[in-house]
Amino acid sequence: MYIRGLRLLHEAFPTKDHYPFSLRIFQRSDLIEFSKPVTFFIGENGTGKSTLLKAIARSCNIHIWEDHDRGRLHFNRYEDELHKCIHIEWIGEKVTGSFFASEIFRHFAEILDEWAAADPGTLKYFGDHSLVEKSHGQSHMAFFSNRFRIRGLFLLDEPENALSPARQLEFLSLLRRFTADGTGQFIIATHSPILLAYPDADIYSFDHVPIEKIGYEDTEYYKVYRDFLNDRGKYLDAIFPGHVGRQELYEG
């Protein structure tokens, strides 16, 4: 464990009318505690979990690999300013870490390939193979299994995006391996009920204001997947009324 919590500094908010400071969840939340080696952030799209994850990275001086800047129709100058308004409580000395998001991972993999062209030894830290020559899921797992060996704080934004269910179970095994000796702390934003099943993890829901801790079986992800697998016809009948009979569905 390297950080034990973060506090939102509301008095430092530069505005309350622009994202992300306009989100009620940030205006009404004060403290998030990290008491376990693995913590999950969950919530619907747009609730702010990825934004807070990036703010933690910037506040901890963890580099975020981002693609080249491009022109935008609407520019929000406050979009990446949340890190200036949070306080991270460290446990002992500060450590380095890594930020992962599937949407920007390809850029990192391409830069790594450019480095390897000049120094092939660079790839030894990622399994001795180019990440761009693997499938998305394979490259992600190669990154995880090698990067997590290094002591540090790991922030991951929806790591399940390119992973099959079997690979997600493999990812859980990686988490177990790299937290067992106390060298890794993980904060993960996810929509995956498989990842959320990691034993003895804390789950924070961004669907509540303020942010609150929630049990695994109380998450919407668990409930929806459980109910769908137990009676998928109920859900499909609502989407495709009259097109698929319940009996035909089960026999098919």
Q: How much is the pTM?
A: 0.86
Please say whether the structural domain 3-62+80-218 has been given the CATH code 3.40.50.300.
yes
Q: Which of 230, 219, 231 is nearest to 194 (CA)?
A: 219
pLDDT for res 169? 97
Express each pLDDT in 193-233 by its tens digit.
999 999 999 999 999 899 999 999 999 999 999 999 999 98
Domain boundary assignment for the chain:
3-62+80-218
Express each pLDDT in 151-205 by its tens digit.
999 999 999 988 999 999 999 999 999 999 888 999 999 999 999 999 999 999 9
Residue 205 CA to residue 225 CA, distance in Å, equals 17
Residue 49 CA to residue 45 CA, distance in Å, equals 8
Average pLDDT estimate for 39-55:
95
pLDDT for res 165? 95
Residue 79 CA to residue 48 CA, distance in Å, equals 11
pLDDT for res 106? 67
Average pLDDT estimate for 91-108:
82
Query: According to the 3-state scheme, what is the secondary structure of 140-190?
Result: HHHHHHHHCCCCEEEEEECHHHHCCHHHHHHHHHHHHHHHHCCCEEEEEEC
pLDDT-derived band at 104 (thresholds 50, 70, 90) equals confident
Q: Are strands 212-213 and 202-205 parallel, antiparallel or unpaired?
A: antiparallel
Express each pLDDT in 62-89 by its tens digit.
988 765 555 555 667 888 899 999 999 9
Q: Which residues contact 41 (CB under 8 A, 6 or more apart)?
A: 49, 52, 53, 187, 188, 189, 190, 204, 206
